[in-house]
Structure 1
Amino acid sequence: MRKTLIVAEMVARDLLRRRGALTLLALVPLAFYLARHDDKVGQSIRFATLGLSWTVSTLALFAGTAAKGAEPRLRIGGYRPGQLYAGRLVALLGIGLALGAAYWAVIVVDQDLQRPGALAVLIAVSVVVAAPMGLLIGAVVPRDLEGALLLITLLGLQFLMDPAKSAARLLPLWSNREIGTYTVDRTDAGYLQRGLLHAALCTLLLVGVTAALTSVRLRRRRHVRFSSAA
């Protein structure tokens, strides 16, 4: 546990040092929120949470690709792959939830919501799914540019695809639409339950796949043995 927290602290410090990029990313949900604030209030909340997901997943992508150079040295120093991955995830969840809490306060003050608790769940789910999604993309792509393009594609599909279609359930942020409908439109609890179930399954899948890839990439190799000359 101690090593996991040490990794989390290192990742958080590295991300917080990038003040310019972090500030711009933190403003993305606000831009999404204001884009639909005047004409479609409900959509503005959904857009804000999707913007938050994009921000957190982008931070996770940067953290994942940046860690590839340092992880082999930490592995030699005695850190296990699970500790390295868990540390990154804890740091990203901490930053994402802190940012999400700020946006929750902004929306609650700005709008007359009947279900502020459901909004908190929606924001938390958006962060919890986005962090391992960004780490998975960072684990499978070689550079940040390819990962950013992939994230943009996923977010575009999330905006454009009809959530009622079966194919939409394959998108990792489908739960955002379901919980958002429950929060804004005050529908029955079935939307909340489906969203939470989908988010839990997606998170487990994303975490499991990325942890397995990290373990394979950082697996210990047998030491090279030199044969003595005859």
Structure 2
Amino acid sequence: MNIHSLLRFHHLLALLMLVFSLAAHGGQDPAPQPWLDALNTLKQGSMPKREQAIIKLAGIKDAHNLAILQALLDGRLFTVKSDARLVIGTDNHQGFDLIDAVNGESLGAVDHDAVTKINLTNKMRGTLRKIIGQLELSADDPTVRLAAVKAMAREADEKVLELLRERVDKEQDEDVRLAINVALLLQDMDSDDKALRIKAIEALKAHNSHDVVNRLNAMVEKDENGAYLEPDSE
């Protein structure tokens, strides 16, 4: 899955989670005021206050949060210029198809210039990625957790690896736990520690996933002089 496919996957996942959660919780009491206050700060606050609002949202258990925060990270969280409503937008090439971020109501299509994007700093994006990872890894649905692990493994950095290490012993679903272990082993193959690399290689030989097969096959590739490209292939 390339980066564009990965982004499309996250867009679809976020929208589906929003729609399904609203359908499941329709008719409940109005949204709690602290949650609404945090969303209002996202719309109107300064950058430091906006970052505080992101952290506050992460601490409020609400089924909408993952969809909203993912849309924010993807640059798809907007305010409507005419009424300041917070919306999630999907580009339809001529404008945006909008969904109300608070109640999930479909608002139809608008021109691109009818909305204002909620911007982020690079620091806020880093904070947001970690929060989204935590929310996805703790989702009730194991299919969401599994999809999150696979997506995170393809763009693993130290923050991602830290989240996966924290999760692996807590994870109850066998498939998700296996995916986490494979992701960590694949990263161990890039370690400066030769013993750790060899241990990871031996452990991965028992797995036949696409990523594992590709990584192991790469180890036996040679350059134009016949030398192995991977240092531990001989």
TM-score by length of 1: 0.31
More helix by share: 1
Structure index of larger Rg: 2
More strand by share: 2
Bigger RCO of structures 1 and 2 (CA < 8 A, at least 6 apart): 1
